[in-house]
A and B are shown apart, each in its own frame.
Chain A
Amino acid sequence: MSDIGSDGVLAGVKELSPVQKTLAHGLVFLVLFGGWELGSRMGYVNELIMPAPTSIAYRLYEMFFVTGSIYWHYIITMYEATMGFIIGVSIGMGLAITAAISPVFRRYWAPYAVVFNVTPGIAVTPFIIAWFGFGWSSKIALAALVCFFPPFINTLTGLLNIDKDATELFRSLGSTKKQYFQKCQIPSALPIIIAGLKLAMTGALIGTIVAQFFSASEGVGILMQRFAFRLNMDGSFAALIVMSLMGLSLFTLMEYMDYKVLYWRRHSRMEEVSAKRKKQWLKQNGDMSQA
């Protein structure tokens, strides 16, 4: 798990001040988009292929503030993706926990898991549409199907790959099976589980959008497809940007969860949480040093 832009990676680069950095990035951005806009206006770039940034921006403005047509599609798509995510993650994690607890189940489920792994989930789209119809349910079902695998495999791997020494410590201290599961297996598996959830979130959004491409009456996916087929390219690019926003907001949400839940992986958060717990403990037990 590495960050492309983390300090470790960028070590050795001469540090620019934040202002310089912003200026430099802004300049690159301006040159890129200015060139594109100019090319569009001068007729070097075909408007039908690559609409000018300003016309896309105008389209976005229109969608959000003038007609307000995007909100309904936006809410529907988010609803479908989130529901699919919840269902898919519950199924995936439920299966993983069962498989982690019961070796027999794990053994007999393994070949089917391989089958699920090698079939691209979105290949099932036509079936899902035929089974669940053209409404919301088919999108939710596809989102769930596409996103169930990463949480499954990651949870299973996390629960099974426990440090041998930790297991021994728990056993020698006489922990029950339940305590071992709650205090040892779950916390040590959490980082990889959350990594699986992040993948699932993206998967759910992709599943929803693909199901909408296949057949739908509402949603950002079908909105974009309609625009594209009418050769209204600025509209379809605006819809694409809306999808990016969705992806970005869901991604940020998952990162925030990562930050909150996995507090022990960041030093500052760790200290914050221990300070809080210390305060709580002192409140409950009284300050012993005073006594």
Chain B
Amino acid sequence: MSNDQEASISNIELNAQYTGSLGGAVIRHTLIFFVVMFIWEMANRTGFSNPLLLPRPTDIAASIWKIYVTQGNVWYHLWVTFQEAMLGCLIGSVIGIALAVAAVLSDSFRQFLKPYIIIVEATPRIALGPIFVTWFGFGMSSKVALAALVCFFAPFVNTITGLLGVQEESYELFRSLGATRRQVFWRLMIPTALPTMNAGLKLAVGSAFGGALVAEFISAQAGMGILMARYTMSLNMPSAFAGLLSITLYGFLLFRTMEVIDKRVLYWLDDDLMAKKSAKREIKYRQELGL
């Protein structure tokens, strides 16, 4: 069972060399965006594409205004889905990381866990949706449970990989300096594993969202999933698109937040942050010693 991971999206941005000025690039991007939107709008107005299937950009914009401002019904559903996804992500990550730590600390536990983990990995976990809805009912708990189940795996695998990836030389150094088991765990294993663990958590946040949405599709009273499902079922496509765009925006914000947290926690990977942190620690150290 391998931990094959998706390459990061930021590689694209890194590799696209900006030749012109930044302002010029922004203008060109915006121009292309508006040309695409204009063609879409025109295709709709002239009847080349069916507005029932692909609504006009202007209609979508009007719907965004409607569901956010005039009707304002989207806030409640966003809040419900957000709660479900975050709670699920929290529970799933805690379980995943705890299992991983247990598996790393105890070799026999790891050996006996392995076949079950392979089965769990091969099962499309989202498929447990109907069973969870039957177990936990139509309310929020079934969504939280599915989100937790869907997202527990990435933190689990990444934590194991990270914790076991400590170099032999570092162990030897710690051992020769007489570190206790606890010190080895907290001062060596956890810091070494943190970058991988954070990558796992980033994946988990995204999939928790997916899990909550799918559970809502199966059966729910509130949430973005059921809102979009209702809109498309009544062929109110502009509003459904507005909902989808909210999810995109929301996913983007979460992704960025996770990246910022990532950078803060892993300060030693960034030179500037590292320098700032050391300066702070130096001041503290001097104060303590009264220098």
Contact = CB atoms under 8 A, between A and B. Distances in A.
Contacts of A114: 9, 12, 252
Contacts of B252: 114-115, 118
Contact of A224 (B25, B53, B127, B254): B127
B4 interface: yes
A228 B142 CA distance: 14
Contacts of A5: 1, 110-111, 114
Nearest to A121: B210
A236 interface: yes
A104 to B, nearest CB: 9
Contacts of B8: 153, 157
Interface string A159-190: 01100000000000000000000000000000
A210 B217 contact: yes
Interface stretch (A61-69, A124-132, A277-285): A124-132
B120 to A, nearest CB: 9
**In the complex, which range does the number of interface residues on chain A fall in?**
35 or more
B240 A126 contact: yes
A119 B53 contact: no
B117 A4 contact: yes
B90 interface: no
A101 interface: no
Interface in A24-53: 24-25, 28, 49
A266 to B, nearest CB: 13
Contact of A10 (B111, B115, B206): B111
B27 interface: no
B244 A229 contact: no
Contacts of B108: 13
Given A9-B164, A118-B251, A4 B6 contact: no
A59 interface: no
B157 A4 contact: yes
Contacts of A216: none
A88 to B, nearest CB: 14
A153 B9 contact: yes
Contacts of A156: 7, 11-12
A242 to B, nearest CB: 10
Contacts of A199: 4-6
A1 B158 CA distance: 10
Nearest to A3: B2
Interface stretch (B65-73, B184-192, B230-238, B264-272): B230-238
Contacts of B110: 4-5, 10
A98 B110 CA distance: 44
A1 B161 CA distance: 9
Interface string B234-268: 01010011001001100110110000000000000
A105 B28 CA distance: 13
B32 interface: yes
Given A126-B232, A195-B5, A236 B157 contact: no
B173 interface: no
Interface string B114-138: 1101010111101111110111000
Contacts of A150: 6
A110 B25 CA distance: 12
Contact of A120 (B9, B119, B130, B206): B206
A123 B244 contact: yes
Given A123-B213, A195-B5, A106 B12 contact: yes
A61 to B, nearest CB: 19
Contact of B228 (A4, A123, A160): A123
Contact of A228 (B134, B207, B224, B251): B134
Give the 6 A-B CB pairs with smallest separation, nearest first.
A157-B7, A118-B251, A228-B130, A195-B4, A126-B232, A247-B122
Contacts of A106: 12, 15-16
With a 10 A CB-CB cut-off, give which of B11, B134, B157, B254 has the most chain A CB atoms. B134
